[in-house]
Structure 1
Amino acid sequence: MSKRAKIILIIIAIGFIAALIWFGKKNKTSIVEYETETPFKTTIVKKTVATGKVTPLEEIEIKPQITGIIDKIMLLEGSKVKKGDLIATVRVVPNEQSLISAKGRVDNIRISLSNAEISYKRNKNLFDKGVISRQEFENVELTYNQAKQDLKNAQNDYMIIKKGSAGSGGSANTNIMAQMSGTILEIPVKEGDQVIQSNNFNAGTTIASIADMNKMIFEGKVDESEVGKLVSGSDIEVSIGAIEGKMFPAKLNFIAPKGTEESGAVQFKIKADVSLDDNYFIRAGYSANADIVLEKKDSVLAIKEALLKFDKKTEEPYVEVKTGEGTFEKRTLKLGTSDGVNVEVLDGISETDEIKIWNKVSKDDKNDGNN
């Protein structure tokens, strides 16, 4: 055999050995080491969050008793008032046609009264002389008295149209008074604005809204999937967006019997009395969230939800429990309440079992899920 042939054979042998080593490494299964965790006893609280706002429990709107123009506003928004305090005054602007008609009615009745008075005096003299009977005189006297009353009524109508009221009662209609003690939340009108009294066809112009800021409630909405778990009288906690790091205790007192559909989901209104803190001033309309406990379980066996896997065929939850060095067995679990981090385990494992902490998903893990 020539020297060249030997060299070729040596090269081929080296290549063959290298190929065997490469295939050996390629086919060699790497050993993956997994850490483990044991179940533990803990308290699991399932909560829901209702979004809403805080509003005064008692709030009223002040409306005028007459139609007119805002003459003067005495107070500003945010002012504290007592019942009966003057908020604003209204100046009556009479309708010219109605005013002229009322004035003409007064003049006509005054003429009739003058004529009735003349007739009354003449017949009284005749009655005193015995010329006419008492009944005839009383009929004349009645006509005279009715004419006087008609004039008084017509004059009152004229004054109501002109000034808004007749006699000393005018200020009761033109002065806008606070109907309750509290804080003025809003004065949506300004001096010179025209206002309309409340009637059967119009709600009237709101001159001011007043509320008792010492009694606040939370108004929010919860989803239909959770409203069935709420109980009236339950204690909840309210956090206000404008006040960081402070939770206000509240008591649930109302759950709407009828829901409303919003963006494809049915929402139910809830209300809760909020216990205020004197160190904080709560303004009406602050956005707020209510933490509501739906379910609470003390000292139950639990694991972290991150340890769970779900079978792709049965969709049942399972974990892998260590049985030996590097070996694990699949255990199907029966789960209970979850708080989003920990989940209660009702059946499938014991407190001493070591549960695999899943590493990054690999092909082998995917295949395990299909088995």
Structure 2
Amino acid sequence: MKIDLPASLSPRRKAHFSYPPSASPQSTAVPRWTLALAGVLVAAALAGCSKSEADPKAAPKAEPQVGVVTLQAQHQQLDVSLPGRTRAFLTAEVRPQVSGIIQKRLFTEGTQVKQGQQLYQIDAAPLKAAEASAAAAVAKAEASQRTQAATARRNAELVQIDAISKQAFDESQAAAAQAQSDVAVAKANLETARINLKYARIEAPIGGRIALSTVTSGALVTANQTNALTTIVQLDPIYVDFTQSSSDLMQLKRDLDSGRLQKVEGNKVPVRIVLDDGSEYPQQGRLEFAGVIVNDTTGTLTLRAQVPNPDGLLMPGMYVQAKLPTALAPDALLVPQQSVTRDLAGNPNVMVVKEGEVAEKRQVELDRAVGAFWLLKSGLKSGERVMVDGFQRIKPGDKVKAVEVDLKARAERKSVRGEPPVQAAADAPAAK
């Protein structure tokens, strides 16, 4: 066996690496430079094979699929959500009007009571005695009045014949008038005694739900005391007091004056109530009062709505959200909130599919939230396609495959699966 060695090797190295077939077994080891050279040749061969096997006409990468919705101009009613508290329609604190000992409590705490229903009974014995005394005083005054009246009539005849002096006549007339006044005073005292006796029966001044009693049988109460015996609240209907920022109100007036928004027609503005747990109250109320004085601390106006409460679900002091229509936006464009992203400066942006199925990033100006949508001020126009799915995987200028998404059907599927409902585009008023 003979190996051809490079000419650049010295004769000494050639003698070292060249050996005849009869060489000794100790000289048959493969040189390291030979192994390195073989590795380089194998790598080059493999690279050549991979190049030759690659198809220069391979199919291009598939265009990414994105979900889009097509914007349509529509008339949109604009609502405002304001925080508020429930207030009882009527509230009455029950207090005694006469002093005495409570003999009985005649109601069940926490139940409904009717107007005029007896609640407590005060010991009436002292009051009955006072009434009898007043009646006797009336009888005495009437008897004295009859005597004085008879004397005055006789003196009137005698003075005509100069049988008595003019002074005696005047005195008898004055005594008769005074006796008549004494009768009137006695009758008034009798009426007061009868009223006090009636007040021994403490009755409900209004109908409604009654609270806990602060006294029990045997308790001593005094007339017009500070502490109420109990409280009655009328809950059907019920008031909801809520506040609105004066700056928001001024902006609404400017939008109405400019024609950008239209005024909601109707004498009574409907009000919807959202409870603290996020559920909507089934009964719809109406706006009753709008304040005219701005709170100098909070800069807000107070508004009041009256809401039916036949089942007593709403109780005084509950925190609620009041939703009421403020205006109508003609030719409104609504974009799903899931399609809006913000850059590092906080500016809102959306990805749209323009002609040629090319993605484009567009900066928009938002007005307010309308359910699961944003009301647009500017940046888009009717008929443009906005990406709602898959836009995270692409960049502006990429070719895409746009697929129309039915947000209403998607929301219904989520509702069936028990996921939180999302207001779909079809939930908004239809395009006109």
> Which residue does 2:202 correspond to in 1?
176
Q: How many residues align?
A: 310
Assess, with a 3 A threshold, how the Cα gap between structure 1 residues 314 and 88 changes in structure 2: closer, same or farther.
closer
1:250 aligns with one of 285, 288, 299? 285
TM-score (norm 1): 0.58
Residues 77-135 of structure 1 deviation map (CA, whole Å, 9 limit, x = unaligned): 424223x44332345999xxxxxxxxxxxxxxxxxxxxxxxxxxxxxxxxxxxxx9757
Assess, with a 3 A threshold, how the Cα gap between structure 1 residues 54 and 208 changes in structure 2: closer, same or farther.
same
The CA distance in 2 between the partners of 1:240 and 1:234, in whole Å, is 19
- Structure 1 residues 158-307: aligned runs within 5 Å: 167-180=193-206, 182-186=207-211, 188-190=213-215, 191=217, 192-197=219-224, 204-223=226-245, 226=248, 229=252, 233-239=268-274, 246-258=281-293, 267-276=300-309, 280-282=311-313, 284-285=315-316, 287=318, 288-297=320-329, 300-307=332-339
- Structure 1 residues 32-111: aligned runs within 5 Å: 33=64, 35-41=66-72, 44=76, 46-77=78-109, 78-82=111-115, 84-91=116-123
TM-score (norm 2): 0.51
Question: Are 1:5 and 2:36 an aligned pair?
Answer: no
Unaligned runs of 5+ in 1: 22-29, 95-131, 199-203, 366-371
> Which residue does 1:201 correspond to in 2?
none
The CA distance in 2 between the partners of 1:344 and 1:283, in whole Å, is 32
> Which residue does 1:106 correspond to in 2?
none
Unaligned runs of 5+ in 2: 1-5, 7-16, 18-30, 51-60, 127-162, 254-263, 397-432
Assess, with a 3 A threshold, how the Cα gap between structure 1 residues 179 and 336 changes in structure 2: closer, same or farther.
closer
The CA distance in 1 between the partners of 2:285 and 2:306, in whole Å, is 5
Asked if structure 2 preserves the Cα contact closer than 8 Å seen for 1:239 and 1:247, the reply is no
The CA distance in 2 between the partners of 1:225 and 1:361, in whole Å, is 41
> Which residue does 1:116 correspond to in 2?
none
Q: Alignment partner of 1:248: what SS?
A: coil
The CA distance in 2 between the partners of 1:309 and 1:66, in whole Å, is 71
The CA distance in 2 between the partners of 1:298 and 1:306, in whole Å, is 23
Q: Alignment partner of 1:189: what SS?
A: coil
The CA distance in 1 between the partners of 2:364 and 2:282, in whole Å, is 37
Q: Alignment partner of 2:284: what SS?
A: strand
The CA distance in 1 between the partners of 2:291 and 2:356, in whole Å, is 56
Asked if structure 2 preserves the Cα contact closer than 8 Å seen for 1:65 and 1:173, the reply is yes
More strand by share: 1
Asked if structure 1 preserves the Cα contact closer than 8 Å seen for 2:242 and 2:302, the reply is yes
